[in-house]
Amino acid sequence: MADHFTESLNVARMHASSTMKAAQKAAELRAQGHSVTDLTVGEPDFDTPKFIKEYAVEGISKGITKYTASSGMPDLRQSVAEFYAMCFGAEIDPGQVAAACGGKQALFNAACTLLNPGDDVLIPKPYWVTFPEISTFCVANNVFIDTMETGFVLNADQVKRSITDRTKLLIINSPNNPTGRVIPPDEMVKIVEVCAERGVYVLTDECYLFFTYKPTEPYSLAVLPKELRDLVCIAGSFSKTFAMTGWRIGYTIASEKWTKAMVKLQSHSATHPTSFVQYACAKALRDTEKTLNAVASMLEEYAERRAWFIPALNTVDGFKCAMPEGAFYAFVDVRGLLGDRFKTSADVAEHLLNEAYVVVTDGAAFGAEGFLRLSYAASMETLRGAVDRMHRVFGKK
Ligand code: GLU
């Protein structure tokens, strides 16, 4: 029979994830035998802490291998609430927490349960690639707020100016992927207040929450007073915080009503994240000393890499990079290289790939033509090698 498959309209409007595509490209070149320096995907190069793996094995041994509630195990929901209480003094009811299969599904659940066709979604630019794709899937309109003029740090005035009667949701991400910039806590509160005045909901991707560099401190919107927090959904993830990208586990923290809607949706999709993974995460969050030590030692390494990598990038001809306050990305301004030789940042990325097998993500994927994103969730050896290769390709200042 002839195959008449065509994508549904909702999916046809979407683009495949460019971060995952860039990572795939690096993997393919490596498989072909090339010596590839992969600075594409934001994936911790650390192994998942041993004690978390052991809890997962314990879960399997105990037979925690069957369905759980669609919202996730009560114990996991409770432990997330306790963890946020311990770290931030937030008062969260376990009924406001739901488990999801990674931060992406948390975001997807939140957007799909709120948005109707034709709603406007405010997305600060540069943005993580998945944000506009999710709202596109929901047949909502992406309305971008350009943050170039404020050094890529969103402020309440920009949000206020962008809200219209059609605005339903603002999606924020601080520490930000791809820029590494952090919105100061008092500005975050002002942003939510401005949204609250107009009945606009806020979806905040906190997946880099614990990776901020001194003097910047982690700050979660979980601490907002109830009347403001009812408009906010936090999408959290174990992926980066505990180097657990492949385990696919995240969570939402939202009002009980919003949570119920998300759980209803999830009950017809993934049902819930893997049961023994939930078990391991609940155990890990309660094993606070080990958990906090694991995060602190990863952060220390990222801080060392950042301290070396960012100044080193600034020695490459045509590269300009500000110090990120959080996450693990260098967002490099390569507009100085554009002209006759390179028309776009994609050309610069391609040249780096062809000449030196250094794979990076083009800023255009994040709505920032003229920039490149380089992940420094990679060993110092890899980063040193990358900068050597860049010197060879573009020269040294
Ligand atoms: N969030 C990471 C990144 O931007 C992982 C890839 C993805 O999930 O898109 O590189």
Q: What is the CATH number of the domain that holds 271?
A: 3.40.640.10
263 vs 358: CA distance, rounded Å: 42
| Per-residue confidence (pLDDT) for residue 207, from 0 to 100 | 97
The atom of ligand 1 lying closest to the CA of 42 is 10
**Which residues span the domain enclosing 304?**
9-47+291-394
Tokens representing 51? 């004690």
171 shares its domain with 271 = yes
Nearest CA to ligand 1 atom 1: 42
217 shares its domain with 87 = yes
Give me the number of domains the chain comprises. 2
Tokens representing 396? 């040294």
Do the domain assignments include residue 3?
A: no
Task: Output the CA–CA distances (angstroms, integers) from residue 334 to 140, 317, 389, in the order listed.
Answer: 32, 9, 16
Per cent of the chain over pLDDT 90 is 95
The atom of ligand 1 lying closest to the CA of 375 is 10
Q: Do the beta carbons of residue 202 and residue 192 sit within 8 Å?
A: yes
**20: confidence class by pLDDT, cuts 50, 70, 90:** confident
Quick: pLDDT tens for 148-184: 999 999 999 999 999 999 999 999 999 999 999 999 9
* Top mutation candidate among 43, 247, 360 for ligand 1, by most atoms within 8 Å of CB: 43
| Per-residue confidence (pLDDT) for residue 352, from 0 to 100 | 95
Quick: pLDDT tens for 189-214: 999 999 999 999 999 999 999 999 99
Quick: pLDDT tens for 56-71: 999 999 999 999 999 9
Q: Do the beta carbons of residue 250 and residue 235 sit within 8 Å?
A: yes
Average pLDDT of every residue of the chain:
97
Mean pLDDT of 220-233: 97
387 vs 217: CA distance, rounded Å: 29
Last residue of a domain, one of 288, 304, 333: 288
Whether 177 lines ligand 1, by a CB cut-off of 6 Å, is yes
| Per-residue confidence (pLDDT) for residue 124, from 0 to 100 | 98
pTM of the model: 0.96
pLDDT at residue 1 is higher than 80? no
**19: confidence class by pLDDT, cuts 50, 70, 90:** confident
* Top mutation candidate among 177, 207, 360 for ligand 1, by most atoms within 8 Å of CB: 177
Whether 367 lines ligand 1, by a CB cut-off of 6 Å, is no
Q: Do the beta carbons of residue 96 and residue 236 sit within 8 Å?
A: no
H or E stretch at 84: helix 74-88
The atom of ligand 1 lying closest to the CA of 245 is 5
26 vs 35: CA distance, rounded Å: 10
| Per-residue confidence (pLDDT) for residue 2, from 0 to 100 | 85
Nearest CA to ligand 1 atom 2: 42
Quick: pLDDT tens for 321-354: 999 999 999 999 999 999 999 999 999 999 999 9
Do the domain assignments include residue 366?
A: yes
